[in-house]
Amino acid sequence: MKRYLIFLIIILFHIEANSQDKDTLFFKFDKQYIIPSLGNENNYILKDSHEEGTFFFTIEEIYKDLEFEEPLCLKKYVRKSEFYDKKRKRKLNDYRLMGHFSNYEVFLIKDDKFIKVTSSYSID
């Protein structure tokens, strides 16, 4: 009986740990850095992405009137991250950046709209 109780506690702990809400990131929409995809109007590509494998955001939903603190600058956020190395030819590690953003709920703030996006990676 004791063994089953311990097993049940472990399962409940695992469920609780996996059901926690993700942190949320809000970024100002910088039309010089966040570029609409030519092939799909629901996708945004970053200026730092490269042609061999591309990081992109896909629009999930659009909201109005969300509460948030100061929005971040996406360009500064990316370029100061461990996924960006200005010394290399391919400066941005698109795949790792996609993995990083998958741990967050990400919103792009454009005018009075809050665009909820998911991160993806595509090999061209």
pLDDT digits (tens, 9 = 90+) for 77-87: 999 999 888 88
pLDDT of residue 51: 67
Residue ranges in the chain whose pLDDT is less than 50: 2-10, 12-19
pTM, entire model: 0.77
Closest CA to 46 of 56, 31, 58: 56
Q: CA-based angle 24:101:109, to the nearest 5?
A: 50
Contact in structure between 49 and 92 (CB atoms under 8 Å): yes
pLDDT of residue 89: 78
pLDDT of residue 77: 95
